Amino acid sequence: MNKIGGLYVVKKYYWLLFSNKEAVAFAPAGISLASTLRPTTSSAAAASWSKKYNCNVSYFSPNDLVVLLEVDGKYKKLLSSSGEMGWTWFGSEWNDCFEEVNFQ
């Protein structure tokens, strides 16, 4: 996932979305991947990180749509189909978790 303006469907996992890049930059490695299990686990993780970093942390889920707005190395700024905008991060090894949506 690296096409600015591209629309992607989330194929697997729940992902945390931090309201600012500074918070996601200081989060421990791998924390962007919220859960492989269920929304309640992801919701609890988002609430915990929101409190820890004193910022809004939400999450997006499998089958959600996201638009890639900006890329800064591994950091990605996204707009989710629920209207949340924020930062997450992952390397190219996680690109298979997202599939570009083509309207052709």
Q: Which two tokens stand for residue 18?
A: 């931090």
Q: Is 90 left (phi over 0), alpha (psi -120 to 50) or beta?
A: beta
Q: What is the pLDDT of residue 98?
A: 94
Digitized pLDDT (tens) for each residue of the chain, 104 residues in all? 889 999 999 998 888 899 988 888 777 655 655 555 556 777 888 888 888 888 899 989 899 999 999 999 888 999 999 999 999 988 888 889 999 998 76
Q: Give the C-alpha separation, 62 to 98, whole Å.
A: 9
Spell out the domain ranges in the chain.
Answer: 7-100
Enter the pTM of the model: 0.83
pLDDT at 32: 59
Question: How much is the pLDDT for 83?
Answer: 94
